């Protein structure tokens, strides 16, 4: 297979390496989309590297045993900041398969989430580093419509935080100096459902205890916001007046 490598300062290329082989619960994935994280900094600095990337979306093309995924599944997965990273060379006999800037990669099946029908590989790949970190953090903290979230830096991960915070009904404040990023953040104000503007104190829980994949969060919220708001106004509002008062926690992005 071919994979991308950094050869020197602002120099990159493609090299031929042996195809990785699945083993045990490590499955072979054909890469269709691989987001760029901080690898460009290595390219700018001229730090040579033959193993680039940690996140990708693709298609399972080979497995060594029955498991959570099968050949033909469309999947996305990430592997970063692991406290006990596996030694692929010792485990699988070759270090190839760990980089995502390649035609094929290896991932343990438990790490791969299946991509819903109708979601492209490009969009699904954003669920890794783009949406994944803040999705998990907000889930752990129980962020909801009564919270205000401050996001310092509107880069890819920061903008993903805007998506996830708005999905959960929180008010969002973004601190950013770069004009381009400021404009991108301001353009995301349309993700605040207008139906939310009339339920100031309703206890709305769009997740309702269910696990919702990051890449379906926005679509799910937009489909169900009106119904959830009406239901909350009927059964969960503290008073009839509270259902008609403008909600400060659902104000537009500032």
pTM to 2 decimal places: 0.69
Q: Are residues 18 and 111 in the same domain?
A: yes
What was the pLDDT predicted at 78?
Answer: 79
From CA 159, how far away is CA 184, in angstroms rounded?
8
Q: Are residues 106 and 173 in the same domain?
A: no
Average pLDDT over residues 220-245: 45
Determine the 3-state secondary structure of 199 from DSSP: coil
> For residue 60, what are the β-bridge partners?
29
Q: Are residues 121 and 182 in the same domain?
A: no
From CA 135, how far away is CA 141, in angstroms rounded?
10
The domain boundary residue, chosen from 125, 158, 181:
125
Residue 123 CB partners (closer than 8 Å, separation 6+): 215
Q: What is the CATH number of the domain that holds 183?
A: 3.40.50
Q: What is the CATH number of the domain that holds 84?
A: 3.90.180.10
Q: Residue 206 pLDDT > 50, yes or no?
A: no
Q: Residue 189 pLDDT > 70, yes or no?
A: no
Q: Are residues 6 and 120 in the same domain?
A: yes
What was the pLDDT predicted at 3?
Answer: 97
Give the number of domains in the chain.
2
From CA 138, how far away is CA 81, in angstroms rounded?
18
pLDDT grade for 254, boundaries at 50, 70 and 90: very low
The DSSP 8-state label assigned to residue 192 in this structure reads S
Structural element, H or E, at residue 81: none
Average pLDDT over residues 8-14: 93
Other CB atoms within 10 A of residue 16 CB: 7
What was the pLDDT predicted at 60?
Answer: 98
| Per-residue model confidence as pLDDT tens digits over 29-77 | 999 999 988 888 899 999 999 999 989 999 999 999 999 999 999 999 8
From CA 176, how far away is CA 182, in angstroms rounded?
6
Q: Are residues 114 and 12 in the same domain?
A: yes
| Per-residue model confidence as pLDDT tens digits over 138-186 | 999 999 999 999 999 999 899 999 999 999 999 998 988 898 988 888 8
Residue 245 CB partners (closer than 8 Å, separation 6+): 198, 200, 201
| Beta strands in 11-156, from DSSP E residues, in sequence order | 11-16, 26-33, 55-62, 74-78, 104-108, 113-114, 148-152
The domain boundary residue, chosen from 103, 125, 147:
125
The domain boundary residue, chosen from 90, 109, 125:
125
pLDDT, averaged across the chain: 78
Find how far residue 32's CA is from the centre of its chain: 16
Q: Are 69 and 60 in contact (CB under 8 A)?
A: yes
Q: Are residues 112 and 136 in the same domain?
A: no
- Residue 29: CA count within 13 A, CB half-sphere: 35
The domain containing residue 29 runs over which residues? 2-125
Average pLDDT over residues 233-242: 42
| Beta strands in the chain, from DSSP E residues, in sequence order | 2-8, 11-16, 26-33, 55-62, 74-78, 104-108, 113-114, 148-152, 171-175
pLDDT grade for 86, boundaries at 50, 70 and 90: confident
């Amino acid at each position: 297979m071919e994979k991308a490598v950094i050869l020197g300062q602002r120099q990159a290329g493609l090299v031929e390496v042996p195809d990785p082989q699945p083993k045990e619960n490590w499955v072979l994935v054909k890469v269709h989309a691989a987001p760029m994280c901080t690898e460009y900094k290595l390219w700018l600095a001229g730090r040579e590297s033959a193993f680039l990337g940690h996140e990708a979306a693709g298609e399972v093309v080979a497995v060594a045993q029955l498991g959570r995924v099968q050949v033909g599944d469309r999947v996305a997965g990430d592997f970063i900041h692991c406290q006990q990273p596996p030694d692929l060379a010792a485990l699988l006999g070759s270090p190839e398969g760990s980089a995502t800037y390649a035609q094929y990669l290896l991932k343990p099946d438990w790490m791969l989430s299946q991509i819903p029908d109708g979601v492209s590989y490009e969009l699904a790949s954003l669920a890794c580093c783009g949406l994944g970190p803040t999705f998990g953090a907000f889930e752990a903290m129980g962020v909801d419509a009564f919270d205000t979230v401050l996001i310092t830096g509107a880069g890819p991960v920061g903008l993903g935080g805007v998506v996830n915070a708005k999905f959960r009904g929180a008010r969002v404040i973004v601190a950013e100096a770069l004009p381009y990023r400021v404009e991108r953040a301001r353009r995301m104000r349309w993700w605040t459902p207008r139906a939310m503007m009339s339920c100031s104190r309703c206890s709305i829980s769009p997740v309702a205890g269910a696990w919702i994949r990051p890449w379906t969060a926005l679509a799910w919220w937009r489909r169900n916001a009106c119904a959830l708001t009406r239901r909350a106004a009927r059964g969960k509002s503290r008073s009839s007046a509270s259902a008609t008062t403008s909600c400060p926690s659902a104000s537009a992005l500032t």
